[in-house]
Amino acid sequence: MLEESYLPLITWMVSLLAVPAIMLLRKNPNAREGATFVAAFAKFALVLAMLPAVMAGGVLRFSFGEILPGIPLEFRVDGLGMLFALVASSLWILTTLYAVGYMRGLKEHDQTRFFACFAVSISATIGVAFAGNLFTLYLFYEMLSLSTYPLVTHHGDKAARSGGRTYLSHLLGTSVAFVLPAMIYCWVKSGGDMSFTDGGFLAGKIGAGDGLIVLLAFTLGFAKSGLMPFHSWLPNAMVAPTPVSALLHAVAVVKVGVFCILRVFTGVFGIDTLKDLDITTVVTYIAGFTVITSSLIALTQDNLKRRLAFSTIGQLAYIILGVSFLSANGITGSAMHIAMHAFGKITLFFCAGAIFMATGKKYVSQMVGIGRQMPVTMTAFLLGSLSIIGLPPFGGAWSKWYLFLGALDADQMFMAVILVISSLLNIAYLLPVAVNALFRKPPADSEGIAISGIREAPAACVIPLSITAVAGFVIFLFPDLVFDLAQLLIANG
Amino acid sequence: MTEHYPVLILLVPLFGALLATLLGSERQVACWFTALIALGGSSILAIGNICALLASAEGELRYRMGGWNENSGYEVGIELRIDMLAALVVAAVVIVGFINTIFAKTRVTGEMREKAAFFYALNQLLIVGLCGIVMTNDAFNLYVLIEITSLTSYALIAMGNRRAALSSFNYIIMGTIGASFYLLGVGYLYIKTGTLNIDDIHTVLQSGNLWGDTSITIAFILIMLGLWTKMALFPLHGWLPNAYSYAPGVVGSFMAPLMTKVMVYVMLRIMLWLFGGEYIYSSGLVWGELVIWMSIIAIVAGSFLALARTDIKKMLTYLIVAEVGYMVGGAWLANGAGLAGSMYHILSDAAMTFCLFLAAAIVILRTGDHRLTAFNGLFRSMPLTMIGFTVGGLSMIGLPPTCGFFSKWYLISGGIEAGHWSYVAALLFSSLVNAVIFFRIFERAYFGNLKGVADEQLPDDGDCAPLLTLERVPFSMLIPLFIAGASVLLVGIYNNTLVSWLKAAMPPL
Amino acid sequence: MIWQFDIIILVFMVVAAIIALRVKDLLGATLVFGIYSFLICLLWAEMGAVDVAFTEAAVGAGVSTVIMIATVFATARRSRD
Amino acid sequence: MTMKFFGFVAVVVVGILLLAATGDFPEWGDPHSPASEGQVSSFYIERTVNETKVPNMVTAVLADFRGYDTMFETVVIFIAGIGIIAVLRNFGDGAAHVPDPPEPDEGSDLIVRSTCRLVVPLIQLFALYVVAHGHHSPGGGFQGGVMLGASYILLALACGLPAAKRRMGERKAITLAASGIIIYAGWGVACMFCGGNFLDYASLDPLLPGDKAMARSHSMLVVEIGVAFTVTAIMFAIYSNLSTRGRLEKGL
Amino acid sequence: MEFLAAGFIEDHIVPKFNYWIYVILMMIGLYAMITKNNLIKKLIGMAVFQTAIILFYVSIGVKEESGIPILSHGQHHAIVDEGRPSEEVITKEKFANPLPHVLMLTAIVVGVSTLGLALAITQRIYISFNTLEEDEILDQLRRGGHD
């Protein structure tokens, strides 16, 4: 099943190759954005090219050769990686389109730097998705932290700096303090082999005690997953331009976090080992706590982007929750939720950005009645919210359903209840925004909202968000692809 | 011809130094060229030496001075012994010296006009001394060579400003104490064993089973104290920061990477080959622990002191103090991974310290400011220099694929194998502190305003800021910086090969 | 070797060293140090190390004393300890 | 005060450590201590004369068995010399290159001057003897070189530095010092050309009169001369810099 | 009585006396190096320190009833010219061990080189600070505002 191929390498390289092009074309914005688009489409096409082989249950492998004793720097494209790569590369196209509209609309500075770092970070994301062993995963994880730092601090003002400081200190700090030692411990324990094999390379080589410590070190160390208590970087990173927030919080960074944790569960320990050791309960409870707490906090947030950020934290916790059930349905749910949540959440962020561009409004309380001015955007927002909440007919429903089943399989009644409650909370903090915007009159004193007439954001922004919103619906109708890829994970894991 | 490589590595720079003095400072360029040729030649020889070693069957080369005694079992002459570790360290020494000579060209005219010839001579003699230290197999010859390096470094440091003279004086006092303790320890060994050759001392100690003697134990303590003083292990580090930060820029930039590392090498040599692992790690059980704790203190204290500094070079020198802690601790972990880690760290730390000091020298030269404020806005104005500095900094923090990450990898795995969690924690702590230190600087360089240039004066869209026009640094300085940065990455990427070579050189524990 | 000489010279050496380090006048200290060097030189000769004695006489007692005196003249002569 | 206290504590601790070690030393002058019984020292005592035909074992060991050490020892002196010049020398706007005025200082009074004019040649003669006769009697390159240097120092003390500098200028001193080491190391390299290892004097046998042992003996003389060159020049350079704060004008 | 004293000394003091004295001298030097305030005094201490070590080494080489490590003319003649094997001419108990002497020649030279360089640096310091007392220099620097 394991077949050598250069495709993973090329897929990873495409966006890197775009960087020098972007640098060189900095004088000519159109050509520069052209290069970005070419790279984006090429990447998506390459990922699709790999799809059939993976669907057939094969694993594409490319190795740069051995870096550390027994540890090559290698790519392995399996179901989970393919799922993540699909989501990331497809959404990258839309995000680029949106970013072009946004950056030009607001006449942002340093756009070249922006797009260059954008390309690097997406390539790092793909690297994580394809990583064939723990070391490669770590390498690209750090690469992503560094390459997104300039994006987060793009504005360069005081807020941006402090946000960036929190961002790096959390991500680098946790990864160096927890992941690095845990990784080396695994290396020592497993006798020098760290490649994600079916059933995990630590299977049978680690006891319950240190197993628990290593598991916790990984779960907390991959702080990109926004699991409490290391979540505070996420709301603070909201100072970034909205396309960045969208990319960060819907696609690249946070998903990399949960993806890494999924890898740890399936590829490092192996589900069966974890079942035998019976050490995941702690993770379950941390995740459950995060789900509830973050939803409650989200209720209190008036700044739309911050509210969405806390919602993201909660949704990510679902994914970790699901995998921590160690039941087939749970894991399927988690894997699917990566995709579903991505589409839903990116829609919401696009909308937030569009609102800000059109009206300059950031706060929920200001958005009453705004729907009359920007119906498309707010409709999309509504659809996105429904998908996040998990109501049919939207993609979110599938993943939540499987998560729920997973909780039942693991007869974690308590967690099942928590899932329900948090869904209710989602309704509470997401739905009012759309409903108020669409179906209520703007208060008389609200300036900046045109009572009559439609003023949407530029088309370059509206098109992507409509596409993603519709996509959420389409996925509900045709979830097979996502589902099958998730099933592959079960089959191997 | 090949068998003469070891001694030629020494002789070429020696003659280069003499030639430089004969040419005299009036012909400065000629002196520079001589140094360049000599060190370049000996770099080539050093690389050839590595190849010869890879080709040789028994994994070590021996060269007997004066051709004494090929047959009988004991050395009456002095012999050189080169194993892979030695060959690699020698190569590192001469190559760093060579690159730094390129770097020195423009600075020497500025910093020491009439004394250029002496600078180039001392510079090469220091390299000679370091290579000799690494290769010799004779305990007393080692002392003479240590004194050669010490004297040259005293003189080179004292060529700086008035602070430099004072710190050089303190260095003389500390250095002499250290070297004399070493000499005394060798004397104790000689009085008990009657020979000076390192291998012979080892055999006599084993055959006579002298391990128990107090005088041997005390000899060991004395030698270690002496070497720790020379390598600035934490409580004995007092002389290092001033000496290296007040020395002329070109001097600090190649003394900082080399001196302490070579002393660490000597410590490894004494531990593993003269006394032998079985003695160190068996009797060491009690105070092997002690040393590891000392190294932990060194790491933590060094990091903290570095964090507190606002002076660029001071900060880097305190980082060196912490790095010395890494290596000493790794050497005492008593397992292969730890030893490999500290051996490998000798090379990687040399690479990254060199890179950082070169970058710092350029920054200080260009901004005329020796404090951290010098970095304000440099990513815009001196991107190339900052790229070099960033690579070095990331390596200090320990992010892949720089060599700092891999040395941390081996050291931590050694700590885990030995179950020394405190040491592991110290390593992680120091890399976190380094992260704070360097990202503080990166932030300045990334956001801070240029000196005297307010934000609005900068081109509004940085894209249109022509990259290189602002960076007025001569290529004779940028190229060395880039070579150093590249070496940081290469040493990292080829760590697997290097470590396998080093493991082959290691004596069985 | 004659141990009586040995002991006497060694005692004198200790005395000379202490004096050299206690005298406040640096010139005096330097001269006492010269005496110390000569005592050592005697000691080496007595121990049969003639070459060392010769060198010590020329280098230790001769040159190093001279350059120390030169330095004292070139700098300050009084010392506080 | 605290410094003094800590210093005292440190000293006491180290002292006790060292005294503890003296306990299991062999007795002073014990002919059967490992150092005296050891093969190495017995080899030096018994075989030196056969190997090198030099009766003074110290010279033989110094210049031949441990010749590598001695070369670096010479380098140490060289470093000290140029180091002192590099640190202290103060080229007041190229004053080093202008010729000195005829008699800036006339040194001490007549008697001293004439006495030293009388003595200096004798000293130098004896110094040369010491260098040359190092094989058979105490002495050798270092001792002779130091004495030669001392003779110049005496000249400087008595007749003023300029008088000495006219005989041994700075440039000349540096050249002499460097050439000394070049002689030493060059001789070693010559051995390599003759197919031996570095400093393997025996391989010079075809070039020198006598057998291999004699070749070693002669070579020792050569390297001792090299050492003497360096030491002479550097000793005077050190003195002349230190006595004038590196200005090389008015001496003591 | 004297004989007793003499015997006592010879048996119990002499065998280790050199080693004791070298320790004492060394400690004197070390103490001076650490605590003296005047730079020249520090250097004198350094010289004492080094000579102490030389004393230790030379004491290693001593043998009872042994002469200087130089062959008499007769012995040399006997071996070199008459070609008699050296073993029967030379009894090694009769010669002091030459190796420590050689080593100490080197050590002395190193010592004087260090001393010279240190003196030069001292003069540099004096030229720029106009004093040799360490504390005064540090005061000047503190007032000068260096960190």
Question: pLDDT of A128-146, one tens digit each?
Answer: 999 988 999 999 999 999 8
Q: Between the CA of residue D39 and those of B199, D34, E79, what are the distances in Å?
A: 15, 9, 21
| Res B284 pLDDT > 70 | no
How far apart, in whole angstroms, are the C-alpha atoms of residue D83 and residue E127? 17
Mean pLDDT calculated for residue range B488-501: 92
- Smallest Cα–Cα separation from C14: which of D13, D7, E26? E26
Q: List, as ranges, residues 196-225 from B with C-beta within 8 Å of E.
A: 196
Best of B172, B196, B236, B373 to substitute, by most chain E Cβ atoms within 10 angstroms, is B172
pLDDT at residue A448, as a whole number: 56
Residue D250 has pLDDT above 80, yes or no: no
Decide if pLDDT at B456 tops 50: no
Cα C3 to chain centroid distance, Å, stands at 21
The answer for D 8-67 residues in CB contact with B (under 8 A) is 17-18, 20-21, 23-26, 33-41, 43-44, 64-67
pLDDT beyond 60 at B147: yes
Please answer yes or no on whether E30 and D241 come within 8 Å at the CB atom: no
- Residue B469, pLDDT score: 46
**C63/D244 CB distance under 8 A:** no
pLDDT at A303: 87
CA D16 to each of CA B290, D21, E31: distance values in angstroms, whole numbers, following the listed order: 20, 9, 14
Residue in E closest to C13 by C-alpha = E25
Per-residue confidence band for D94, with pLDDT thresholds at 50, 70 and 90? very low
Write down the ipTM of this complex.
Answer: 0.90
Cα gap A419→A426, rounded to integer Å:
10
Q: Does E106 touch chain B (CB under 8 A)?
A: yes
| Interface D:E, Cβ pairs < 8 A | 170
Indicate the burial class of E16 (C-beta count within 10 angstroms; 0-12, 13-18, 19 or more).
middle
Our CA angle for A350, A354, A356, nearest 5°, is 120
- Model confidence at B436, pLDDT cuts 50, 70, 90, reads very high
Nearest to B155 among D43, D86, D188 (CB): D86
**What tens digit of pLDDT does each residue of A293-315 get?**
999 999 888 888 888 889 889 88
Cβ E70–D8 below 8 Å, yes or no? no
The answer to whether E118 contacts chain B (CB < 8 Å) is yes
Query: Cβ–Cβ of C76/E69 closer than 8 Å?
Result: no
Q: Which two tokens stand for residue C31?
A: 């001269």
Which tokens go with A67?
């870096």
| Low-confidence winner among B335-344, B374-383, B486-495, D57-66 (lowest mean pLDDT) | B374-383
Scan for tokens 């060394």, then name that residue: E26
Amino acid at B69: N
Residue D102 has a pLDDT of 44
Residue B464: the pLDDT is 39
Are C66 and D153 in contact (CB < 8 Å)? yes
Across the interface, whether the CB atoms of B21 and D82 are under 8 A apart is answered yes
Determine the distance in angstroms separating the CA of C12 from the nearest CA of chain E, rounded to an integer. Answer: 11
Positions in chain A whose pLDDT score sits under 50: 493
- The SS3 call for residue D211 is coil
**In the prediction, which pLDDT does D101 show?**
44
Compare C21 and B68 and report the one with higher pLDDT: C21
Contact predicate C48/D28, CB 8 Å: no
Check E44 against C72: CB less than 8 A apart.
Answer: no
Q: Does the pLDDT value for residue E69 go beyond 90?
A: no
Taking CB atoms and an 8 Å limit, are E123 and D47 in contact across chains? no
What part of B 146-185 touches E (C-beta under 8 Å)? 147, 150-151, 154-155, 158, 162-163, 165-166, 168-169, 172-173, 176-177, 180, 183-184
Provide the terminal-to-terminal Cα distance of chain B, rounded to the nearest Å.
34
- With a CB cutoff of 8 Å and minimum separation 6, the contacts of B13 are B38, B39, B42, B94, B97, B124, B125, B127, B128, B131
The alpha helices in chain D, defined as continuous H runs, are: 2-22, 34-37, 39-52, 57-60, 67-88, 110-132, 141-159, 161-167, 170-193, 212-242
Percent of chain A with pLDDT over 70: 97
Report the pLDDT value the prediction gives residue B481, as an integer from 0 to 100: 92
For the cut 90, the answer to whether the pLDDT of residue E83 exceeds it is no
Please indicate whether residue D212 or residue D173 has the higher confidence score (pLDDT): D173
Beta-carbon separation of E141 and B140 below 8 A: no
Mean pLDDT, chain B, whole residue set? 87
Backbone angles phi, psi at A113, to 5 degrees: -55, -40
Q: Does C76 touch chain D (CB under 8 A)?
A: no
User: Phi/psi of residue C50, each to 5°?
Assistant: -65, -40
Task: Report the percentage of chain D scoring pLDDT > 90.
Answer: 33
**Of B225 and E16, more confident:** B225
Contact criterion met (CB below 8 Å) for D34 and B192: yes
Q: Which chain C residues are within 8 Å of E126, Cβ to Cβ?
A: 74-76
Average of per-residue pLDDT values in chain A: 85
Tokens of B158: 């004292």
- What distance in Å separates residue D15's CA from the closest CA in chain C? 15
Residues of B with CB under 8 A from a CB of A: 397-401, 406, 408-409, 412-413, 416-417, 424, 428, 431-432, 435-436, 439, 443, 446-447, 460-464, 493, 495-496, 499-500
Cα–Cα distance measured from residue A347 to residue A350, given in angstroms and rounded to the nearest whole number: 5
Q: Record the tokens describing residue B490, joined without a space.
A: 């290469």
In this prediction, residue D100 carries a pLDDT of 44
Q: Which residue has the tokens 């020649």?
A: E105
Please indicate if any CB of chain E lies within 8 Å of the CB of C66.
no
Pick from E33, E117, E141: which is nearest to B173 by CB? E33
Residue A218: C-alpha distances to residues A183, A274, A354, A489, B282 (Å): 8, 14, 37, 20, 36
Q: Per-residue pLDDT for D93 more than 60?
A: no
Q: Which amino acid is at B392?
A: G
Q: What is the predicted pLDDT for the residue at D95? A: 44
Question: Confidence band (pLDDT; 50, 70, 90) for B424?
Answer: very high
Q: Which helix (H) or strand (E) holds B343?
A: helix B336-367
User: How many other C-beta atoms lie within 10 A of the C-beta of residue A96?
Assistant: 24
Compare CB distances from E44 to C6, C33, C75 and report the shortest one's residue. C33
Judge: B408–A146 Cβ closer than 8 Å, yes or no.
Answer: no
User: Is C1's CB within 8 Å of D149's CB?
Assistant: no
Q: Which residues, other chains included, contact B33 with Cβ-Cβ below 8 Å and sequence gap of 6+? A: none
**Could you tell me which of B437, B109, B352, B93 has the C-alpha nearest to residue B248?**
B109
pLDDT at B432: 93
pLDDT of residue A483: 83
Which residue of C71, C77, C80 to mutate against E (max E Cβ within 10 Å)? C71
Query: Given a cut of 80, is residue E92 above it in pLDDT?
Result: no
What whole-number distance in Å separates Cα of residue E9 and Cα of residue D245? Answer: 50
Counted across chains B and D, CB pairs separated by less than 8 A come out at 164
Interface check C64 vs D, CB under 8 A: no
Q: Nearest CB to D245: which of C50, C53, C74?
A: C74
Write out residues 15-54 of C within 8 Å (CB-CB) of D: 50-51, 53-54
Question: What distance in Å separates the CA atoms of residue A360 and residue E21, rounded to the nearest whole number?
Answer: 88
Quick one: CA dihedral B308, B309, B310, B316, positive or negative?
A: negative
- For residue B79, the cross-strand partners are B64
| Residue in E30, E46, E106 closest to B144 by CB | E106
Does any CB of chain E come closer than 8 Å to the CB of residue B60? no
How close is the nearest chain C Cα to the Cα of D96, in Å? 19
Q: Is the pLDDT of residue E134 over 80?
A: yes
Give D129-155 pLDDT, tens digit per residue.
Answer: 999 888 888 888 899 999 999 999 998
CA distance B422 to A186: 18
Check residue A453 and give its pLDDT.
67
For A394, counting Cβ atoms within 10 Å of its Cβ (0-12 exposed, 13-18 middle, 19+ buried), the class is buried
Q: Average pLDDT, stretch D232-246?
A: 90
Contact C67 D239 (CB under 8 A): yes
Note which residues in 63-82 of chain E have CB less than 8 A from chain D: 63-66, 68-73, 75-76, 79-80
Q: Which candidate from D22, D42, D49 shows the least CB-CB separation from E16? A: D22
Chain E, 82-111: which have a CB under 8 Å from a chain D CB? 86-87, 90, 92-93, 95, 97-102, 105-106, 109-110
